[in-house]
Chains A and B, each alone.
Chain A
Amino acid sequence: MESGETVGDMLARRGFSRRGLLKFAIAMTSSLALPPSLAPVMAENLAMARRQSVIWLSFQECTGCLETLLRTENPTIAGLIFDFISLDYQEALMAASGSAAELTLRQAVAANAGKYLLAIDGSVPVKDGGVYSLTGGRANVDMLQEFAPDAAAILAIGTCAAYGGIPKAFPNPTGAVGVEDVISDQPIVNIPGCPPIPEVLSGVLVYFVSFGRLPELDDRKRPLAYFGTTIHDQCYRKPFYDQGKFAKSFDDEGARLGWCLFELGCKGPTTHNACASLKWNDGTSFPIESGHGCLGCSEPDFWDQEGGFYTSLAGGTGPSWRGAEIAAASGVALGAVAAIAARRKVPGA
C-alpha cells in the first residue's frame, strides 16, 4: 500500500468494487450485531480510512493465537483484513531481528504515538520483576508499561493476555496475569479463547477502523457482539439438553446420536464465546460438533475450574472421603462431650 493511500484506493487498485466492499460491510455489521443501516456507513468509512497501525507484542505465550489468526482460511475480502492495518511490529512475522527489530519497534511507536493499537498475546509474568519472560533482555511487564500509554487502545488477544490463561494456572510460578491487571488507565478489549476466533479479531479491527472507537464491551471487556451469549445458548445440541437426552460416555448410543454432552463435562452453559455460530476452520465445525464438550477456554481460570474438564457443571469438587471421615469422627467426639456434659448437669436423669 502506498503512503497516503486509503483503504478504498487500495481495494480499487486490487480490483475490488465498491459493491464488494459494501457486501463485506454488510457481513461485518451482521457479525458485529449492528443495525443493517450501518453497513453503508461502515463501507464508506472503510473506503476513506487510512491503514491502522498495529504494534503486536508477544509475551508469555505459545504462538497458538498468532498461528490460528494467520492460518484462517478465508478466501473472500475478509482475507484482506490485514490490508486494512499496518502491522508495524510482530516478532514472529517480521524479517528483522535483534537490534534492527528493536529499532523498528521504536520507530513505529514514535511515528504513531497516540494512534496505534497495541495487540498483546500471552500473559504478563510479574513475579520477581517479570524475569520469567523477556524480549531483547527486557521484561514483558516493563514493555507493556512503556508502550501502553501511547496506544489508542489495547487488544488482549487470547485467554492468556485477557486473564492470564494457562500460565496463570495453579501454582502460577511466574505470577502470570492478564493485561488489564497491569494497565488500568487505557481502553482494553479482551478477545479471549485458546485460541481466539480469528473472525472476532477481524470484527474488532474493522469496527475500530470504520468508526474510530471500540465496539460495545461486556463487563469483562469482551466484544458484546461475540461474547454476549453462551455456547450453550447457540449450541445445535441444546434441544437434546432441553429434552434431557445426555450422552453418558464418549462412545455410547447417546454420543453417536449427537445428544448433549453436559454430563461429560461440557462447559458450554457457562462459557461466553461465538464458537457455536462462527465455528472454526472456515466454518467447518467446533469442538462440540466434533464430539467433545466445551472446555470453557475463553473464561478466566478455565484450567483450574473445580472438578476438571470431565466433571459436569452439576458437580464440583467435594471434600475427600478422608476429610468426611475426620468430620464424622469430630462430630461423634463433640456429641460424646455434649452427652457427658448433659449427664453431669442432670444427675438423676
Chain B
Amino acid sequence: MTLLSFARGPGMQGAVLIMVLGMFWRLAGIFLLRRRVAHAAARNKLGLRLLSGAVTVFTRTIPRRRFWPRVGPGVALSYVFHFGLFIILFGGAPHILVFYEIFGVSWPDLPKGVIVAVSGLTLAALIALLVRRLTHPVLKLLSTADDFFSWLIVFLPVMTGILLSGETVGAYGTLLALHLLSVEALMIWLPFGKLMHVALVFAGRGVLGYNFSRKGAAT
C-alpha cells in the first residue's frame, strides 16, 4: 500500500471516526455535567435571556475599543487566518468536491489563483501569530504545548496545500499524500486540544451571555 493509498483510505477513515468520536465525547461530557442550581430569581425573562445569549455570540467577536491598541494586531491577524481557512475550505474546488462526495451538495468554487493568494495570506498570518506568541511576554508565559502543537497542525495543511497547488517541489502523488495526511492529523487532534473551540466557541459565548442576562449584568 502506497502512502497515498493509505491517506485516501484507512487514514481518512480512521481520522474521521476518531474526530467524530472525540467531538461527541467532548460535547456530551460538557453538556451532561451537573449545573449549579441557581437559587436567585432571574432578572430577565427567558426570551430576553436567550436573545442576550445570541447577541453575545456576535458582540464578543470584536474586542472593546479601549483594548484595541493592545490586542488589535493579534485579533486582526487571527481574523485573517480564520477567514482564510474558511475561504480555502469552502471555496477551493477540490475541497468542494470532497463535500459533494460526502454530502451530495455542491456550490460554485473560487478561481484557483484566489485560493492560492488567500492561502499565502493565511500562511503569512499564521507565521506572524507564531512570532507574536514567541515574543510577546504575556502570551509566551501563557502558551502551552497545546498552543504550539495546534498551531503546527493548522499550519501544515495550509503549507502542503500551497505546495500541492504549485506542483513544483515534489511529485503530485507525494504532495497530495502529505496534504491529506496533514489534514487527517488535524482531524484527529481537533477534539482533544484547543482546536475544539471550533465547536465550543459560539456555544460558550451564548451561555455566557445567557447567564449574564439572568443575573442582570451587561454583556
List residues of A whose CB falls within 8 A of some B CB: 230, 232, 242-244, 246, 263, 269-270, 300-301, 305-307, 311-319, 323-324, 327-336, 338-340, 342-343, 346, 349
Contact = CB atoms under 8 A, between A and B. Distances in A.
B28 A319 contact: no
Nearest to A349: B34
Interface string B26-57: 11111111101000000000000000000000
Contacts of A269: 172-173, 176
Contacts of A312: 94, 97, 101
A324 B16 contact: yes
Given A315-B98, A330-B21, A349-B34, A339 B28 contact: yes
A309 to B, nearest CB: 13
B29 A338 contact: yes
A150 B1 CA distance: 32
A301 B7 CA distance: 15
Contacts of A305: 5, 8
B34 A343 contact: yes
B24 A327 contact: yes
Interface residues of B, number: 43
Given A301-B2, A313-B176, A335-B30, 13 more contacts: A243-B111, A244-B111, A269-B176, A306-B9, A314-B97, A317-B13, A331-B21, A332-B24, A332-B28, A334-B25, A335-B32, A342-B33, A349-B34
Given A319-B17, A323-B13, A324-B17, A336 B32 contact: yes
Contacts of B12: 306, 316-318
A206 to B, nearest CB: 28
Interface of B: 1-2, 4-5, 7-9, 12-13, 16-18, 20-34, 36, 93-95, 97-98, 101-102, 109, 111-112, 171-173, 176, 180
Contacts of B30: 335, 339
A242 B167 CA distance: 10
B39 to A, nearest CB: 14
Given A269-B173, A316-B12, A334-B28, A328 B102 contact: no
A339 B32 CA distance: 6
Contact of B20 (A230, A232, A331, A343): A331
A244 B93 contact: yes
A314 B98 contact: yes
8 contacts: A232-B172, A270-B172, A312-B97, A327-B18, A331-B27, A335-B26, A338-B25, A339-B29
Given A244-B109, A269-B172, A331-B28, A316 B9 contact: yes
Q: Closest 6 CB pairs between A and B?
A: A335-B28, A331-B24, A316-B8, A339-B32, A314-B94, A335-B29
A298 B98 CA distance: 26
B105 to A, nearest CB: 14
A327 B17 contact: yes
A334 B112 contact: no
A253 to B, nearest CB: 14
Contacts of B26: 331, 335
Contacts of A331: 20-28
A339 B24 CA distance: 13
